[in-house]
Amino acid sequence: MPYWYKGADAERVVRALYDLGRLVEETTGLAGYDPQVELPLTEAAARPGLAVAVFDDVAADFARRGYSSPSADPPATP
């Protein structure tokens, strides 16, 4: 997943990823793990702010390097 999202956009992405992870867990019987926050999926999903902080840090680093992102660059209005 690209880490260029930040703030509320990052939270939506994180929640969607955790929802997908839960579906994989339910379907396969396997346990998920989020290596970015070093927690099992169930625990990480209960604390999405941890992953959002990772997204925010990476998006800020991208911005310092001059890379744009969907969160940083709102679409132009006609």
3: tokens are 């880490």
34 domain residue, yes or no? yes
Would you write out the chain's pLDDT as a tens digit for each of its 78 residues?
Answer: 767 788 898 999 999 999 999 999 999 999 999 999 999 999 999 999 999 999 898 888 888 888 776 665 544 444
**What is the CB-side half-sphere exposure of residue 17 using CA atoms within 13 A?**
20
* Number of compact structural domains in the chain: 1
50 domain residue, yes or no? yes
Q: Which pLDDT does position 66 carry in this prediction? A: 83
For residue 44, the enclosing domain spans 7-64
58 domain residue, yes or no? yes
67: tokens are 């890379």
77 domain residue, yes or no? no
72: tokens are 């940083």
* Residues in CB range of 12: below 8 A, 6 or more apart: 5
